[in-house]
Amino acid sequence: MMKMMFFFMGVPLMIMSFFQVQDVLPYANQIEIISNGNTIVLSQEQQDDLLQEIKNLLADSHTVPAFGVVFDDMYQQEIQSGNFVSIKFAEMYEINGLPFDQLVFKVEGDWQGFNIMRGDNGHFQGRCIYVDLMGKNMQNLAKKVDFLTKNTSFEEKVDQMQLQENDKHFEETLAAAESESV
C-alpha cells in the first residue's frame, strides 16, 4: 500500500520539481537587457522577439544542479560589465527547489552553458541554476542582444548609490514612524 501511495503521490511531485528553465518562460511578464550597468527597457515587440530567441537557445538544453552561488553585492558588481538578460515574473516560481521571481544571466556568444542568477523581490542570493546548451552556443542570442543595445535609446543607469540612499531613507522614515508610535 505504501509503495503504491509513493508512486501516485511521490513520483508526480518529483517530476514536477525537476523543471527545465524553458518551462517557466511562458510566464515571463517583462524582459530587459542590462548592458554595462544600464537597464535597457524594451518595447513589447522587442521583448517578444528576444523571448523567442531565448526559447530557441534553450530548446533541447538541460537544467542541471549548479555549483555557483550569488550574493547581492556580487550580483550588483557583476552586472556593471557585459551584457545580461533579465527575465521578470509577476509571481514566485521554482526550478528544482530554487525559488525566484527574476532570472538574470550573462550573454557570451561562445558559451555552451551558463549560470542563471535568481532574484527574489530584487534581491539576489543563493544557488544559481545552470543550463547546459548541449553542444550549442549563445552566438545568436549575443547578436540579438548586441543589436538591441545599439538600437534602443531607453536606458536608465543602475545606480547602486541611489539604491542605497533610497534604502537608507526608507529605514530612517520607518524608524521615525516607529518612535512616534511609542
pLDDT in tens, 33-78: 999 999 998 999 999 999 999 999 999 999 987 888 999 999 999 9
pTM of the model: 0.75
pLDDT of residue 161: 43
Amino acid identity at 92: M
> Which of 48, 57, 154, 71 has the alpha carbon at shortest distance from 107?
57
> Which of 33, 13, 16 has the alpha carbon at shortest distance from 24?
16
Q: How many CB atoms lie within 10 A of CB 28?
A: 18
Q: Where are the domains of the chain?
A: 20-173
Q: How many CB atoms lie within 10 A of CB 153?
A: 6
Greatest Cα pair distance in the chain: 63
Residue with cell 529605514: 171
> Are 158 and 104 contacting, i.e. CB atoms less than 8 angstroms apart?
no
C-alpha cell at 89: 515574473
Q: How many CB atoms lie within 10 A of CB 47?
A: 19
> Are 145 and 105 contacting, i.e. CB atoms less than 8 angstroms apart?
no
Q: How many CB atoms lie within 10 A of CB 124?
A: 21
Q: What is the pLDDT of residues 108-164, one digit of tens each?
A: 999 999 999 999 999 999 999 999 999 999 999 999 999 999 987 644 444 444 455
For residue 38, give the 3-state DSSP assignment.
Answer: strand
